[in-house]
Amino acid sequence: MTPANGFPRIVNLLLNVAHAIDHMFLLIFATAVAAIAVEFGFNNWTDLMPYSVGAFALFGLGSLPAGRLGDLWGRRIMMIIFFIGMGVAALLVALTQNAWQLAAALTLLGAFAAIYHPVGIPMLVQNVPNPGAVIGLNGLAGNLGIAVAALVTGFLVKWIGWRAAFVVPGIIAIACGIVFAITCPKESESPSKRKGGKAQVTLTPAMLMRAFAVMTAAAAVSTVLFNFTTNGNAQLLSEGFRGVVEDPALLGVMLATIYAIASLAQLVVGRLIDRMSFKPLQLWISVIQVPLLIIAAHTQDWWLFAALLAVMVFVFGSIPFTDAMIVRYVDDRLRSRVAGMRLTVAFGFSSAAVWILGPMVKQIGFSNALWIMAGIAALKAAIVLLLPEEPERVK
């Protein structure tokens, strides 16, 4: 039985694997940063962390041209470029000999990583009747990539070295690209020229602009939380378990466990999105992050583990909303471009979280930084209140 979007199952599998690759590759550095800092002569990981900001800036800024090319040129060819580009960029990171070479290679990695969200997700959900569930499963795949980054990187750093943590996934990404190119049918026309794929909910132009503005603002704030936690959690656990657990491989297993369990929240949220309005669901998911971040700011060892798990359940649980909103409100012919515009603003803005993470933690510590994140979560909840009420869906 062919899936609703018309692609072979291997193609849908690879589109979900691509989401895992996208997030995994961007977070290998965050997991291995302490080992890289030692080799490159830095006194502390916090001093090396800002060198990765280019990756996250291009991850956002590159989404706009990637989305435009996805709609106008074709999504299949863009995904082939994604797989091969990610693999080659990862291999280049492994060859770097100093911090500035590392920064340049990571920036290139971020440029290729920018392709996935505005191209891969619209490709996956085109014409499906249950986009929320599909996006939820896709989100699970992406966050399992984060878990794999924590798990595999920890062991590779311990057994072989940090360079292997980029080489092994890089080779796998290139292999996936070759399989994708062979198995994915060629597009007869670009998405911008197709018929069908209408929005599920019809909004007036004014309501659509308001929804897009609120969606973009909420996504920007949400991605600040996402970038801060996913880039900082490895070092947060390392500090919180100092004297209790100090083996980097074991800490990687613990962090991977948190991410794997928290990722399941996206399956639940994805199904809820297909059944209820965005506004109340997203509001409560945003509100509950505030007290959980405050609790995490004042706990250590296993209490910190539990608090961080709870935080990540709701940070990950909030991810499917913006992609599902685009499917619900935007015609498929425009989805990659709209997603690209939204991602450019959101990820471009939130890359600041990566840039300031190291210096901020060095100056004020993780506890105070988590209080700031709680304030940002409260700001997101206030932004969500501005979402327009939905009319009836198009049947």
Please give the average per-residue pLDDT across 324-338, as a whole number: 68
Express each pLDDT in 104-144 by its tens digit.
Answer: 999 999 999 999 988 888 888 877 777 777 888 888 888 78
Work out the mean pLDDT of the chain and round it to a whole number: 82
Q: Is the dihedral of CA 238, 23, 370, 297 positive or negative?
A: negative
Nearest to 333 by CA among 72, 11, 134, 120: 72
Q: Which residues have a Cβ under 8 Å from the Cβ of 285 and sit 6 or more positions away? A: 269, 314, 317, 318
Nearest to 174 by CA among 110, 61, 87, 93: 87
Q: Which residues have a Cβ under 8 Å from the Cβ of 311 and sit 6 or more positions away? A: 229, 289, 292, 293, 296
Express each pLDDT in 334-372 by its tens digit.
Answer: 666 676 676 676 666 666 666 677 777 778 888 888 898
The span from the CA of 74 to the CA of 188, in Å, is: 9
Express each pLDDT in 203-229 by its tens digit.
Answer: 566 777 777 787 778 877 887 888 788
Q: Is the pLDDT of residue 395 over 50?
A: no
Please give the average per-residue pLDDT across 151-171, as a whole number: 86
Contacts 24+ apart (CB under 8 A), 206-211: 207/388, 208/329, 210/386, 210/387, 210/388, 211/325, 211/329, 211/387, 211/388
What CATH code is assigned to 9-384? 1.20.1250.20
The span from the CA of 259 to the CA of 261, in Å, is: 6
What is the pLDDT, as a whole number, of residue 254?
A: 87
Question: pTM for the whole thing?
Answer: 0.71
CB atoms < 10 A from the CB of 48, how many?
A: 22
Give domain limits for the chain. 9-384
Q: Is the pLDDT of residue 79 over 70?
A: yes
